[in-house]
Structure 1
Amino acid sequence: MDRRELAAFLRSRRERIAPSDVGLPAGPRRRTPGLRREEAAQLAYISTEYYTRLEQARGPRPSREVLAGLARALRLSDAERVHLHHLAGAPPGPPPGPSREVRQSILDLLRRLPLAAATVTSATHEVIAWNDLAAALMEDFSAVPRRDRNLLRRAFLGPHPDGRRLYGVSDADEFGRRATQNLRAAAARYPDDPEVAELVRDLLAGSEEFARLWASHDVSSEPTLRKTFQHPLVGPVTVNCDVLDIADRDQRVVIYTATPGSPSEEALRLLSVIGTQRMDVPR
């Protein structure tokens, strides 16, 4: 355990967080940037005395539970979390849960694909980033709560109570099978993540079909190369599906493109213009 480096690292991470980032008032008497030690300690669920000793390079070796609390309180990235564990002399186990942090370069890539619908999905098939054409083709994800952006929930638990839903696709059954296999593997990678456990519980309770697929314990699947969206404004849109794995984040970039010169390419061009307008089309 490198106490001096650990102390310096904790201090540097604490000082970069503005009180407003964690819902705290700035107050008139802050003489140093970032959070106070007692605030960081409170967010990590440890005592102020213990946290202070860590920043003064006098503390004992933190447990994995304490390190997890510090990583959460100080909003550490995956790389910073690993670094924290190494400084504390406790090499990290698997990440606590699927990453939802999308690299800026990937977000830039989505914006540079004007005639391709593209999304980024997490290990549990939550849509965590998308471009404008994906919103027009599939769903305006910004208009629904985060919970309802999970494609497994949409596939097995039906549309959102207010009637919003993903547009029908030609491979709905196959997607459900493959997504279940992927979730089975993700649950093994993140055995302690409460959101993964909750998702599995909800799907088992709400869908007999999911329960049947889950009971098979299958974890391998072939990618879908083509699918057709039944869009209410422009009709059927057949697209090629290419998936790029982001291994270090356990995420996937899914890119939908139409064959050049096809009616589906013209449909995507039209969608790129009209965006997410609904034009009072019934769902």
Structure 2
Amino acid sequence: MTTMVHETAAPAARGSEIRRHELAAFLRSRRERISPEQVGLPRGVRRRTPGLRREEVAHLSAVGVTWYTWLEQARDIQVSVQVLDALARTLLLDASERAHLFQLAGSADPTPAASCPTVTPALRELLRGLEPVPVCIQNSRYDILAYNRTYGRLLGDLDAVPPEDRNCMLLVYTNDQWRSSIVHLEETMRLMAARLRASMAGHLGEPAWKMLVKRLATESAEFRENWERYEVVNARTKTKQFRNRHVGLLTLDHTDLWLNPELGARMVTYVPADEESRLRLEKLHALVLADEQQAEGIRR
């Protein structure tokens, strides 16, 4: 019996060792391709290392230098999803590289960059069918899981935002395009922070939630101030106003349609509150279609 256990465990241990070495090599290769200037660091006159130094990656990712060195040495250490997320951002990984990093570490990516089983092909078709009304699917953490073309241009160019950054909290607090498009920005930020805190009560131990709050607190003094108010508010329907850079002021009635209350998935709709907003949404939709046709013509 003991022999069988050892024979069974050996391949698994070997596979884990191989993944650790692959992870170490991948991190080194990504570190060496990034110049200090790309991450806001001075090059200096005595730099011999191609790309970033280990201590620079550790500092930018808020992890210990020794710990990161062990990671590049393929030591058998545990890596949290928070650390993987920080490394992915520091090393400027694209979506494919980020997925590869999490796979090598044996972890699931908790950000909206990962696929969501709630968003079925039928739901995606429904989003498109509701155009020109802007519609998206979000979870209770404000991750944008799917959206139609009109929503993608409502507050900026959402297609240009990396999938892992498509989160309404991040966009409202840190994205200049989104911030300039919201008419009542201060009120919106306070309400969203209060809704996030209310929702987080059921997810206090989940890494993705802690990652989001930590990132917001790091990148936004406004979020830190609102978060420390300890206000809570439940979801509610209300009228919102946006300044779209293509068509002007839009007055829209916001409604949440719950798809999976247990997981917090909901369809967020913005129906025009007046005739002028309806016409402007139609114009925005026409602009999006024209851009698509032009892009298709270029590809051909």
- TM-score class, shorter-chain normalisation, is 0.5 to 0.7
In the other structure, the counterpart of 1:181 is 194
What CA distance in whole angstroms lies between the structure 1 residues aligned with 2:232 and 2:281?
A: 33
The aligned residue for residue 12 of structure 1 is: none
Following superposition, the deviation at residue 180 of structure 1 comes to 0.9
Residue of structure 1 in register with 2:143 after alignment: 126
- What is the one-letter code of the residue matched to 1:243? D
Partner of 1:114: 131
1:101 to 110, 113, 117: 117
- Amino acid of the structure 2 residue aligned with 1:153: L
TM-score, scaled to structure 1? 0.57
Contact 1:120 1:129 in 2 (8 A): yes
Which digits, 9 at most, give the CA deviation of each residue in 1:26-58, with x for residues without a partner? xxxxxxxxxxx969x859x9xxxxxxxxxxxxx
Residue 287 (structure 2) aligns with: 274
- TM-superposed CA distance for 1:270, in Å, is 0.9
Cα drift, residue 177 of structure 1? 1.5
Give the secondary-structure state (helix, strand or coil) at the position aligned to 2:153. helix
Structure with more relative contact order (C-alpha pairs < 8 Å, separation 6 or more): 1
Q: CA distance change for structure 1 residues 178 and 252 in 2, over 3 Å: closer, same or farther? A: farther
Aligned-partner Cα distance in 2 for 1:98–1:178: 22
Structure 2 residue corresponding to 1:250, chosen from 236, 248, 264: 264
Quote the offset at 1:124 in angstroms. Answer: 1.4
1:147 aligns with 2:200: no
Question: What is the CA–CA distance in structure 2 between the aligned matches of 1:188 and 1:98, rounded to whole Å?
Answer: 19
Instruction: Quote the residue 1:16 is aligned against.
Output: none
TM-superposed CA distance for 1:136, in Å, is 2.5
Q: Aligned equivalents of 2:124 and 2:249: distance in 1?
A: 27
Where does residue 74 of structure 2 map in the other structure? Answer: none
Partner Cα separation in structure 1 for residue 154 and residue 271 of structure 2 = 11
Q: Any gaps of 5 or more consecutive residues in structure 1?
A: 1-36, 46-95, 279-283
Q: 1:179-223: CA deviations, max 9, x gaps?
A: 112221333322232222122112223333222221222222462
Alignment partners' CA distance in 1, 2:151 and 2:199:
25
Write out per-residue CA displacement over residues 140-195 of structure 1, whole angstroms, 9 at most, x where no aligned residue.
32321123311111222343xxxx54651223222212211222133332223222
The answer to whether the 8 Å contact 2:195/2:235 transfers is no
The 2-side partners of 1:130 and 1:217 are apart by 30
- What is the number of residues matched between the two proteins? 185
Higher helix share: 2
Query: TM-score of the superposition, structure 2-length normalised?
Result: 0.54
CA contact (8 A) 2:132 2:285 kept: yes
Q: Identify the match of residue 230 of structure 1 among 234, 243, 249.
A: 243
Measure how far apart 1:130 and its partner are: 0.3
Quick one: which amino acid aligns to residue 118 of structure 2?
V
**Residue type matched to 1:179 in 2?**
M
Aligned to 1:80: none
Q: Which runs of 5+ in 2 are unaligned?
A: 1-10, 20-108, 293-300
- Counterparts of 1:142 and 1:224, CA distance in 2: 26
Trace 1:13-92 onto structure 2 (pairs within 5 A).
none
Q: Which runs of 4+ in 1 moved over 6 A?
A: 96-99
Secondary structure of the 2:253 match is strand
